[in-house]
Structure 1
């Protein structure tokens, strides 16, 4: 569970932040007006008055961009380093785990073929093996 939370779950919620929030109307960092209380009362003018100013938008986009970036020294799930283990059993288990991850990666890539918007955030080859912020 710890491995999943610190790798795959983190990648699922973190990696796509800029892809989604880089377009500010998807998730404005602040709102300048209260939300509507009745259905059908929203107008384009009200939406525009609700959105934040450009300086807040830039800060929000920059924050989501920084949080979505991969570290320059990233280490990914299939690249588990064996140098810390010398016994046969952990090395064998790591090898089995790596093979399963690479198989999963191939399945994900096959599923994404021809997709208008491929979902790559949980491809093990792209999932960092730890939270790195």
Structure 2
């Protein structure tokens, strides 16, 4: 059981690292766009967007801790969903909570223990 928990913890750390790398890439792209916009004296007018017709983005598959292709798929789906829904997931805390909601099996068990520990440190005993 300890080996599975350790494996799940490592998988979660790997996913969080991949997510941080994706966020770094996004931040660099945003900075590029900002610098490009400030250097252009005649910027193009923004296109009008109708928020009522945004494409529906499906949520990612549940993740059970399986390494390899399933882990990569979960990470990519998670990153895409977060990128497509910045108003729903405005900070890292909401992103982590969202990611944890889609864990199953041993990975979910590890996440619950980890989450309870973090909540206990911040809020006192979460389970009363």
Q: TM-score, normalised by structure 1?
A: 0.26
Which has the larger share of helix? 2
Greater relative CO (CA pairs within 8 A, separation 6+): 1
- Structure with bigger gyration radius: 1
Give the alignment's TM-score, normalised by structure 2: 0.27
